[in-house]
Structure 1
């Protein structure tokens, strides 16, 4: 057990377990995510990473165990309530509307927390205020030059940046990123990795990521899963030298 204060950990799972008709996909996973860090979940294909993510964000109900967020038990809390409390999964709420502009996508995301929803007849002062904040968020993710472009016209990497901007519109304390670099070329990977690093300055990031170079460069702590269980945990330098991790990835180094 760590001697750190419980307040140091924004997210914690205790004995998290998920069975599907007798198959145990996640088994007794106890995870502690330290506040204001980047924490990565890695492991070979079938290790249970996405299932853990789905359990934490309540897209799946656990068969056993508990999830605590800021010291509160959220095991039975709905995904929407968890998002309102400040833990938001990118691409969970932030689906991009392809035939709206980049600015309009972020403005719609900004309307959700304040209950404005799709009331396009709101006073112009409110829409202008939303526009100003939307432009700030686009600048944060390097998309200010594309504000008037249709989302469908964006290259893949910039579309992922837009998805992150719409997630940021909900002002999350914890951002959960599920394979943020999937399908990207080197240039996009470098851009989005730099963005995640910058955004982590005042919030916590928990991510599932297959690209081990990204994990090595970004993560403060890495949890390695294998067959639904935690194999080991620590900084990249230590886990990369662990013979059990090398064996888990043998012949599957990009998983």
Structure 2
């Protein structure tokens, strides 16, 4: 039987030269849901992401993924296990086309190293799958365009496509709506909702409207600690959350 919670942390703590960025965070992400981390700048959200994906080692605590202890695993091992993250800054190859970016990402699950030195025709067998992913994120009309020429929101859609190419069981999205206008936010929100049907999503997001629309569970962080957790209705009606965040316009 599959674990009910795909990720569980217990007492997760991170010190930086005497500064406690994350303190005693015990988080459980239910399989098949969209789980959001919110909090103002400095609340520890991205640090929690970095700890879970092992870009940082915890000072204390334990991390379980699918019931296995991954506290001492390395980032490459985490990715191979099916936990894949995006970053606040778009991480695509700017001068390669949309199709080429997705094809490169598709090479990873094959277990074969990147074929930069081989003729491009070797990758033609990946075209059909690449185009399926490109269509899924609404970029079919620009598949031959260099990534650098895409509007910001569509670059983020391309990044999600390359993340999906790794066939993740768990997607971690770090501020996927950062810097977007209303139209792009709507498009990427719809995309996240579609791709979440087959996987679990853990995301950091500042836009409360997005969080309210997409999330099944919300964890509110304050100064590196969990302040509240529950549905949007639960946390928005929490007096401590309202005092700490809702009144400030931050999330």
- Asked if Structure 1 and Structure 2 have the same fold, meaning a TM-score greater than 0.5 normalized by the shorter chain, the answer is yes
1:95 deviates by: 2.2
Taking the aligned partners of 1:254 and 1:147, their CA distance within structure 2 comes to 36
Question: What's the Cα RMSD here?
Answer: 1.8
1:123 deviates by: 8.6
Tell me the SS of whatever aligns to 2:138.
coil
Aligned residues: 250
Where does residue 234 of structure 2 map in the other structure?
238
Given that 2:39 and 2:250 are in contact with CA atoms closer than 8 Å, whether structure 1 keeps it comes out as no
Determine which of 185, 206, 215 is the counterpart of 1:219: 215
Within-5 A mapping of 1:172-191:
172-191=168-187
Where does residue 193 of structure 1 map in the other structure?
189
Within-5 A mapping of 1:68-217:
68-91=64-87, 95-114=91-110, 115-119=112-116, 121=118, 124=121, 126-217=122-213
Given that 1:98 and 1:150 are in contact with CA atoms closer than 8 Å, whether structure 2 keeps it comes out as yes
1:214-240 deviation per Cα after TM superposition (whole angstroms, max 9, x unaligned): 000000000001111111100001110
Given that 1:175 and 1:206 are in contact with CA atoms closer than 8 Å, whether structure 2 keeps it comes out as yes
Tell me the SS of whatever aligns to 1:137.
helix
User: TM-score if structure 1 supplies the norm length?
Assistant: 0.93
Long gaps (5+) in structure 1: none
List, as ranges, runs of 4+ consecutive aligned residues in structure 1 with deviation greater than 6 Å: none
